[in-house]
Amino acid sequence: MGDSYPRYELAPDDTRYPSCVKDLACAPMLYVIGNLTALYGRAAAVIGSRRATPYGMVVADMIATAAAESGITVVSGGAKGCDFAAGTAAIDAGGAHVIVAGTGADVIYPRTSAELFDRTLACGGAIVSLERWGTGPRRFAFPKRNRIIAALSQAVFIAEAGLPSGTFSTAEAALELGREVLAAPGAITSSLSRGANHLIANGAGCLIDEESVEVAISRIFGTLRYQRLAPNINPASDECSQVLDALFASPLRLEEIAAMLSMSPMDCLSHLSRMMMQGDIERMPDGTFTPTVRAFRARSAILSSGKHSEAEV
């Protein structure tokens, strides 16, 4: 990051200190780079797993886009995975993004988020930290910053979360502060959805589709979405639909898909390879197959369009 953006050191008694952070029992010193006004308006945290699946990335993108197009600032931790997807989507939608860093505000971490940090500042957002300038990543700093993510936001939206996880600790901090917590459910067989599913089972708002995201934003913030682009619907071919229908529910291994299709493993692998080349599915590090971000977006667009009956989807 360049030195062209203003830097601030804000004590709780500073008149420029964001009042929402004073809801914390012990309001901390804040170190800020960028646009201070981004800390004062309506804001929603959109967070999730760093090891996000394509499903989690799409959900984060969907929520952040809806928030930005409703005039709501999006807050995230700037990490890889869901945070990166949320921040990028908010900026792409013309909204403001605030990163709450676990390092010094002038230290980019992780390095893979360098472009997101730069774009956040260039597009009128801010980077906030509890740590002094130049402080590198330290494990204990990240749980502390999660309290700031919660405090800066009037609501916390969770795209995907394991248990335990940093995302789950942010949700706990939000509940302690009286902020609303909402989460997208995931497959009960996915470890990356245990946290989100647990929160929903214990009273968090349940986000079942894009419309429910918009309704929640409207209810909480009293604003309407001013822009909604027509979806680019590209449904899967009939040949792939059976596999995709199963994978939308949960990632599966080769042998599980082969049994479902009554194929030999070799024939099934050939079929899956074609789907990977078409951009419909991808193979995860643990060897399971899952739909790509593009495929999840296509399915979401189909569901939102209302062109398919319940039986067809």
What's the total number of domains in the chain?
A: 2
158-208 tens-digit pLDDT? 999 998 888 989 999 999 999 999 999 998 988 889 999 999 999 999 999
Clarify whether residues 195 and 249 are in a common domain.
Answer: no
pTM, full prediction: 0.80
Residue 214 lies in a domain: yes
Clarify whether residues 46 and 166 are in a common domain.
Answer: yes
CATH of the domain at 301: 1.10.10.10
Residue 226 lies in a domain: no
Clarify whether residues 136 and 265 are in a common domain.
Answer: no
Clarify whether residues 92 and 162 are in a common domain.
Answer: yes
Clarify whether residues 264 and 209 are in a common domain.
Answer: no
Residue where a domain terminates, one of 221, 254, 287: 221
227: pLDDT confidence band, cut at 50, 70 and 90?
low
Residues 182/158, Cβ–Cβ less than 8 Å: yes
Clarify whether residues 164 and 286 are in a common domain.
Answer: no
Q: What is the Cα–Cα distance from 169 to 191, expressed in whole angstroms?
A: 16
Residue 246 lies in a domain: yes
Clarify whether residues 190 and 257 are in a common domain.
Answer: no
Clarify whether residues 12 and 146 are in a common domain.
Answer: yes
- Residue 64: the pLDDT is 97
Residue 42 lies in a domain: yes
User: What is the token pair recorded at 204?
Assistant: 């968090």
Beta bridge partners of 283: 289
100-146 tens-digit pLDDT? 999 999 999 999 999 999 999 999 999 999 999 999 999 888 989 99
Whether 271 has a pLDDT exceeding 80, the answer reads yes
Residue 36 lies in a domain: yes
- Residue 277: the pLDDT is 86
Clarify whether residues 131 and 274 are in a common domain.
Answer: no
CATH of the domain at 15: 3.40.50.450
Residue where a domain terminates, one of 158, 189, 221: 221
Clarify whether residues 28 and 173 are in a common domain.
Answer: yes
Residue 312 lies in a domain: no
311: pLDDT confidence band, cut at 50, 70 and 90?
very low
Q: What is the Cα–Cα distance from 160 to 183, expressed in whole angstroms?
A: 8
Whether 259 has a pLDDT exceeding 60, the answer reads yes
Clarify whether residues 252 and 112 are in a common domain.
Answer: no
**E strand or H helix at 126:** strand 126-131
**E strand or H helix at 289:** strand 289-291
Residue 2 lies in a domain: no
**E strand or H helix at 116:** helix 114-122
Edge-first strand order for the sheet with 73-76 is 7-10, 30-34, 126-131, 97-104, 73-76, 43-47, 155-158, 180-183, 205-206
User: What is the token pair recorded at 310?
Assistant: 């319940």
Clarify whether residues 217 and 253 are in a common domain.
Answer: no
Mean pLDDT, range 77-99, rounded to an integer: 96
Strands 7-10 and 30-34: antiparallel
Q: What is the Cα–Cα distance from 43 to 46, expressed in whole angstroms?
A: 10
Residue 229 lies in a domain: no
Mean pLDDT of the chain, nearest integer: 89
Residue where a domain terminates, one of 175, 193, 221: 221
Residues 300/210, Cβ–Cβ less than 8 Å: yes
Residues 125/35, Cβ–Cβ less than 8 Å: yes
Q: What is the Cα–Cα distance from 12 to 264, expressed in whole angstroms?
A: 65
Question: What type of residue is 61?
Answer: D
Structural domain that includes position 84:
7-221
- Residue 305: the pLDDT is 60
Whether 230 has a pLDDT exceeding 50, the answer reads no
Top pLDDT among 301 and 6 is at: 6
